[in-house]
Amino acid sequence: MKKLGITFIFLVLIYIQAFTQSGYTPAEENLKNREWFQDAKFGMFIHWGVYSVMAGGGDYGIAEWIMNEKQIPIKAYENLANFFNPVAFDAAEWVAAAKAAGMKYITITSKHHDGFAMFDSKVSDWDIVERTPYGKDVLRMLKEECDRQGIKLFFYHSQLDWHHPDYYPRGRTGQGYTGRPESGNWGRYIDYMNAQLTELLTNYGDIGGIWFDGMWDQWDADWQLDKTYALIHKLQPGALIGSNHHKMPYPGEDFQMFERDLPGENTMGFNQGGISELPLEMCETMNGSWGYNIKDRRFKSTKELIQTMVKAAGYGANFLLNNGPMPNGKLQPENVDTLKVIGKWLGKYGETYYGTTRGPVSPRSWGATTRRGNTVYVHIMDLPDEYVFLPELRQKIESVKLFEDQSNLKYSQNNMGTIITVPFVKRNDIDTIVVINLKE
Ligand code: H79
């Protein structure tokens, strides 16, 4: 009887596993890429499309959403493509700026919610090659340059589509103004999306992965994730799939992202999911906008960005920092300056960041910890005391030094944890780093 019970539990467990993973076992190269991704830590997000031409239309907080926010019907919105002529676009410059910042990958919008393909699509003419005077496939140009400079390229792809007639029934957005017919074939839309994804996964060599967004537009729709994810993993088993649905990852996803919030936080009001065991990534804007907004001058300081980047690392999360290039093809000069400062900081302190995992103490109001093997890095950002307390850190310690000058720091341990003296005179404004070497 007992044996039967155990067999039954065993079968249930197998069933649950098969059910929750939908049969997905990541390929070896996928697992390798996950590791690469976690070690790489820092990437550049790029929001660029025909909406960039409108530069927010004089409003804060509007950029790539302008079609929806200003209720611009498709026929009128399509005119924008006629003015998208980024003659100053230089892929080498973008990739060099990313590299100078210490970034290891770029995630660019292949299609945002307006449905416009920033690549040469054969299944739609709503794309950069067919509709703009520029007429060139910028994704191809960027990919070639990324290959040259050793940067991985990911594609952001919106599942939500305000332009395609078959995106029907419609969700919470894109209602009532677009001029689309009040009918459509959802299955055909999914086929269309999969056809564009097939183009992206076959015509651009090896890509880093696909960054989905937009499922939150309608939860009840039949997104057929299994089909789309299986297609991607079949075409490029190593490509990492993530989706910005703000929930716990679905089967078939390879990493989890958090939009403008540290993992587990929900200041934005839509990050309601928990934290999974998959590789994590937090994305953040330089000002308050993703796409180019001419009025948005609320640029975050390099101090704030570096501290957020390090705190994300304290959760084990990557940092995907956005750029909204201008319609002429140039990155915003303010952003280029910021990237240089971050790059300089990483040039000096990168050892405490790249290739680390989350540290033994989860992020605190004073900072965060990261770790590589037996080395723990304590990042002190805002500590009003001369002492930092690391609860639960009871492992035997080999040495405690200040990263900056390798000077030894005083410490003591008891059964509650470790206390380290970090003199005020040794502090710097952004991140004072203490290096703890633990005994084997
Ligand atoms: O691409 C960038 C944004 O355009 C996109 N994601 C980043 C990376 C984005 N779209 N929306 N949001 C971010 C915020 C989401 C707002 C939501 Fe809602 C709140 C979605 C669901 C509730 C607003 C209200 C939109 C639908 C209802």
pLDDT (tens digit per residue) in 180-210: 999 999 999 999 999 999 999 999 999 999 9
Nearest residue to 253 via CA among 67, 416, 37, 48: 37
pTM of the model: 0.94
From the number of C-beta atoms within 10 Å of its C-beta (0-12, 13-18, 19+), residue 112 rates as buried
154-178 per-position pLDDT tens digit: 999 999 999 999 999 999 999 999 9
Instruction: Band the pLDDT of 20: cuts 50, 70, 90.
Output: very low
Nearest CA to ligand 1 atom 11: 214
- The CA distance from 282 to 46, in Å, is 14
Residue nearest to atom 6 of ligand 1 (CA): 213
What's the Rg (C-alpha) of the chain? 23
Ligand 1, from 256, 282, 283, 290: best to mutate by most atoms within 8 Å of Cβ? 290
The residues with which 376 forms a beta bridge, in sequence order, are: 371, 436
Each residue's pLDDT tens digit, 60-80: 989 999 999 999 999 999 999
Q: Ligand 1, residue 173: give the atom nearest the CA.
A: 26
Ligand 1 centroid vs 108 CA: distance in angstroms?
17
pLDDT in tens, 395-420: 999 999 999 999 999 999 999 999 99
Q: Count the helices and strands in the chain (H runs, E runs).
A: 11, 16
